[in-house]
Amino acid sequence: VVPNLLSLDEIEELRQDTVTLAKGGHPCDNLKPLPDDVSDAEAISRILCIHQPHFVSPIIERYVKHPKICGILSQIAAAHLPHWDGSVKCMQSMLFVKPPNFQGQAWHQDEIYIPTRDRSLIGAWIAMDDATVENGCLWVLPGSHRQGYLYPQRSHENPDEFDFAAESYGFDDTDEVPVEVTTGTLVFFNGYLLHRSRKNRGDTFRRVLVSHYCNAWSLLPWSIREGESPANADRRCIVPVSGVDPYAWKGYDAPPKNVSLRTCKAVQQMEASDAS
- 193-223, pLDDT tens digit by residue? 999 999 999 999 999 999 999 999 999 999 8
The fold of the 8-30+39-275 domain, in CATH, is Jelly Rolls (2.60.120)
Burial readout 170-183 (b: 16 or more C-beta within 10 A, e: otherwise)? eeeeeebeebbbeb
What pLDDT score was predicted for residue 232? 87
pLDDT on residue 147: 93
Angle at CA of residue 58, ends 54 and 62, nearest 5°: 80
**Residue 276 predicted with pLDDT over 80:** no
Q: What is the pLDDT of residues 76-126, one digit of tens each?
A: 999 999 999 999 999 999 999 999 999 999 999 999 999 999 999 999 999
For 58, other C-beta atoms within 10 Å of its C-beta total: 9
Q: In percent, how much of the chain has pLDDT > 70?
A: 100
Write the CA distances from 105 to 120, 138, 146, 166, integer angstroms. Answer: 22, 9, 22, 9
> Pick from 76, 168, 166: which is nearest to 124 by CA?
76
DSSP 74: H
Query: Which helix H or strand E contains 267, and what residues bound it?
Result: helix 265-275
Distance CA 150, CA 171 (A): 11
DSSP code per residue over 83-135: T----EEEEEEEEE---TT--BEEEE-GGGTS--SSS--EEEEEESS-B-TTT
Nearest-angstrom CA–CA distance, 136 and 101: 10
pLDDT recorded at residue 241: 98
The residue among 37, 70, 101 whose CA lies nearest residue 268 is 101
- pLDDT bin (cut points 50, 70, 90) of residue 231 is confident
pLDDT > 90: what percent of the chain? 92
d(CA 96, CA 200): 12
∠ CA 261-107-258 to the nearest 5 degrees? Answer: 15
What distance in Å separates the CA atoms of residue 69 and residue 47, rounded to the nearest whole number? 26
How many angstroms separate the CA atoms of 108 and 95, rounded? 18
- Report pTM: 0.95
Ordered by start, the domain boundaries in the chain are 8-30+39-275
How far is 56 from 119, CA to CA, in rounded Å? Answer: 29
Average pLDDT of the residues of the chain: 96
> pLDDT for 133-143, tens place per residue?
999 999 999 99
